[in-house]
A = this chain, B = another copy of it.
Amino acid sequence: MNIYEVAKKAGVSIATVSRVINNSPNVRPETREKVEAALKELNYRPNAIARSLAANTTKTIGVLASDVRDSYYANAVYILEQEFRMMGYDMILCNTGGELEKRKKYMGLLLEKKVDGMVFVGSVFKEKKDNTHIMDVSEVVPVVMLNSSLQGNNIYSVVCDDQLAAFKVVESLASRGHREIAYVYDVDSFSGLAKLNGYYSGMQAAGLPIRQEWIIRTESGINGGYMALIRLMEMQASCTAIFTSEDILAAGILKGLLAKGKKVPDDVAVFGYNDSVLARCTTPELSTVDNKVGVLAREAARMLCKVLDGEDTPHHKIIEPELVFRESCP
């Protein structure tokens, strides 16, 4: 079933059929009706591949995220898909994992599939040294980075101000009388660094002592948090508050604290990051940072669509995070 058969049945040329399909205004109403009748009758469905080849646009976006099983990425991917869909785009999803080489491979594959644009979800996409692979991609299609950024002609970014968020967390912890605040994190990506910086500057601004041994890098996941807490305990840390870069780490810390007989928040206050469902499932519930992943995703999608529509849009947007106070630090 193709445009030719429809044309034959309707007694018109394929150009006319194409016109009514793409509802071009230049078609006489009667003609349009004839064609539409044929369309119905033959149960015609346009072939998007052929259209892509001819029109040189696939109406599909490539989305790279390291792992959708992480709720942050899942949220981003969900919103991206909804937004793109609304604008008539499909989304090819790639879970790239951590390795640079794998990511490069995915970018290549997406380029072969002729996606109209790409979005990279997460600050892990910005390499410390060399980002030429991203620059290369951006020579071909527009790129938007969600929660990391890179300077470039055809590169756009929308980020949450994680440094500010961390700063504020420390600030409000300090205002609650905490002077000894530990920080536990897992990765030192772009946003990981921003948070760490926020912690430092927050401590400084509040005039609190920074103790390097209380800044702990641990593995990802609930166990990472647990182990960090154990380490803190073993060094008899006197901290009265623990701030983490991820809710899941905070969950592990809560577990450890419980095991050690510490009361939260009375003995130790705990602050998470992400405002994931997790934060409402722990006991006590977690105070956390809402880093607005939904907003970031929506903005990212809209930016890309604008670029593709030839409208202009700022290359960089910053979204303000928000602190959410729950039981672990009321």
Interface of A toward B, CB cutoff 8 Å: 45-50, 52-53, 58, 60, 67-69, 71, 74-75, 77-78, 81-82, 85, 90-95, 108-109, 111-114, 222, 248, 251, 254-255, 258, 277-278, 280-283
Contact = CB atoms under 8 A, between A and B. Distances in A.
Nearest to A254: B283
A15 B296 CA distance: 47
B90 A113 contact: yes
Contact of A47 (B45, B78, B93, B112): B112
Contacts of A69: 71, 74-75, 78
Chain A interface, >50% SS class: helix
Contacts of A114: 47-49
Contacts of A46: 112
Contacts of A81: 68, 93-95
A52 to B, nearest CB: 5
Q: How many copies does the complex hold?
A: 2
27 contacts: A45-B112, A46-B112, A47-B112, A48-B112, A49-B52, A49-B113, A49-B114, A50-B53, A53-B53, A60-B113, A67-B78, A68-B77, A68-B78, A68-B81, A69-B75, A74-B74, A81-B94, A82-B95, A85-B94, A91-B92, A93-B93, A248-B281, A251-B280, A258-B283, A278-B281, A282-B282, A282-B283
Contacts of A92: 60, 90-93
A281 B280 CA distance: 10
Closest 5 CB pairs of A and B: A283-B283, A251-B281, A93-B93, A48-B112, A74-B74
Given A78-B68, A91-B93, A222 B281 contact: yes
A166 to B, nearest CB: 22
